[in-house]
A = this chain, B = another copy of it.
Amino acid sequence: MNFCVKCGANTVYKVPPGDNQQRFVCRLCGHIHYENPKIVCGCLVRSNDQVLLCKRGIEPRKDRWTFPAGFLERHESTLEGAKRETREEACADVELDMLYAQFDLAYISQIYQFYLADLIGSYAPGDETLDVRLFDEKSIPWEQLAFPVIRKSLESYFSDRDRGRFTFRHFEIPNRASWTSI
């Protein structure tokens, strides 16, 4: 962030008066540029005893399998965002059940929220998706999943399904190494 969004002058990275963190501050007009974590929302879509996965058509993790999910947009709730991403990436409508999993990934300043959702009707690959399929537990491509949040969510899901009760799961992941211990 080299330039001020308000006046176009150069910024300096410093602690503003009365603050305790470094921010990009405009040298000319003093505007403070706050940067905040982003929310990623998506759906763990069920259909009968299968779950829907999308094969990514773009980097990162192209050709790997993931949930339909993406960055929450302005003026959107996480419920709306999760449904929109599912429409965009899997051309699928869903009915949301519950907020099922949250992952606080501090090391990349992202908060993930996945909803349990039920498939309504058909599905097909969206623009950034190579393939969409329903998998039963035995056929999940565990070695070809795109991200650890997907693996952990699926493990939680099948575990909860087997015990007959779904509860909200919350995971705090301070760094990449933490994934090996959860």
Residues of A within 8 A of B (CB): 1-10, 18, 21, 33-39, 71-80, 99, 102, 104, 106-107, 109, 111, 127, 168, 170, 172, 174
CA distance A120 to B162 in the complex (A): 39
**Nearest CB of chain B from residue A98's CB, rounded to whole Å:** 8
Find chain B residues with CB under 8 A from A2 CB.
5-8
**Nearest CB of chain B from residue A168's CB, rounded to whole Å:** 5
Is B5 touching A74 in the complex (CB atoms < 8 A)?
no
**Nearest CB of chain B from residue A17's CB, rounded to whole Å:** 12
Is A79 touching B33 in the complex (CB atoms < 8 A)?
no
CA distance A32 to B41 in the complex (A): 21
CA distance A74 to B36 in the complex (A): 5
Is B75 touching A104 in the complex (CB atoms < 8 A)?
no
Most chain-B CB neighbours within 10 Å: which of A1, A7, A8, A102?
A8
